[in-house]
Each structure stands twice: as structure tokens, then as C-alpha cells.
Amino acid sequence: MSLPDKAFPVSWDQFHRDARALAWRLAGLNQSFRAIVCITRGGLVPAAIISRELNIRLIDTVCIATRHDYVNQGETQLLKGISPDLLADGGAGVLVVDDLTDTGKTALEVREMLPKSHFACVYAKPSGVPTIDTFVTEVSQDTWIYFPWDMGFTYQEPIAKGHKG
């Protein structure tokens, strides 16, 4: 297995700050959200933070599995749909939350279910940016984000040591 050259490890503290920054951006929209739909599994943590910050008590999940080998993204599979009451009116007033939009494939699938909802991600890659409405940090398409729930403590080589340029 070959991993991407660019790694972006994110600590728990940094992720919490970035998710709160996303909540600040969403609060600045002066839009009232009646519910959050988080895309699992990555959307669970930012949805918890955003629901607290914006005082949104109704949270649902849409469970989509993406088959991938940590380099290439594959086909998606819907494991659990969205509650019918949130699908009403195309999802108007619903905030969809995820940790990352990579290719935008998952966001487009959920957008078909909730065309009037607002899509927000903590991190975005260029291919996914057109599929969402609000995000905090953009990283290059060839960067792999290591989320804190996927990592343990390990030594990191200095960037210059492995730089090919």
C-alpha cells in the first residue's frame, strides 16, 4: 500500500478548534437550523461540537460506506438513510455536517436526498469544494488528513528529510 506524499496530521485540540471555527462561520450566516444530519462516521465528532455551539438538539445520521484503499476512493453504499421528517421540504433548515469533503462523491449523494440543506465540512479538498457550502480549511487534493481518532502517538519525520524537490 502506498500512502500519499503529503500528510496532514490533526490533533484533538486542533480538530476541536477547527470545528468551533466552522460553528462560528455557520453562526455568521444568520440562518436558523432545525436539525443536523451528520455523515458517518467522520461527521460524528464535528456534529457534536457544532450542535453544542449552535444549540441544535436534533441530530440524525446518514450512514454511507465508501470502499477505499487509503489512496483511491471507491463506490459508496448507503447503510442508513435519513429520517423522513428531515427529508420533508428537501431538507430546508437542515445542516449536513462531515469532517472532510475529498472528491465530493458522498456530499453529492446526500445532496440528492436533501437538496435544500446547507452542507458544511471542517476540511475540504479542491475536488470536493463545489459540493459543499461552508468549510474552514482547504488542503491540496494529494494531501492525506490523519484525523485524531485514527492515530496514536508516533514519531514524525521532518518534512525536509523526505522532501523530493
Is residue 28 part of an annotated ligand binding site?
no
Catalytic one among 18, 89, 98, 142? 98
Angle between the 44-54 and 12-27 helix axes, to the nearest 10 degrees?
50
Is residue 42 part of an annotated ligand binding site?
yes
Q: Which residues pair with 80 in a beta bridge?
A: 63
Exposure class string for 10-23: b at 16+ Cβ within 10 A, else e: beeeebeebbbebb
Residue 118: its H or E element: strand 118-124
User: 85 catalytic, yes or no?
Assistant: no
Catalytic one among 18, 69, 102, 150? 102
Is residue 100 part of an annotated ligand binding site?
yes
Is residue 105 part of an annotated ligand binding site?
yes
Catalytic one among 85, 99, 133, 150? 99
Is residue 52 part of an annotated ligand binding site?
no
Is residue 41 part of an annotated ligand binding site?
yes
What would the grid cell of residue 60 be?
440524525
CA-closest candidate to residue 135, choices 101, 106, 93: 101
Is residue 144 part of an annotated ligand binding site?
yes
User: 69 catalytic, yes or no?
Assistant: no
Measured in degrees and rounded to the nearest 5, phi and psi for residue 97 equal -125, 135
Is residue 106 part of an annotated ligand binding site?
yes
Q: Provide the residue type at 136 as one letter.
A: V
User: 102 catalytic, yes or no?
Assistant: yes
Distance CA 44, CA 37 (A): 9
Q: Binding site membership for Mg(2+): which residues?
A: 99
Q: Binding site membership for GMP: which residues?
A: 102-106, 144-145
Catalytic residue numbers?
A: 98-99, 102
Q: Binding site membership for guanine: which residues?
A: 102, 145
Q: Binding site membership: which residues?
A: 41-42, 98-106, 144-145
Q: Binding site membership for 5-phospho-alpha-D-ribose 1-diphosphate: which residues?
A: 41-42, 98-106
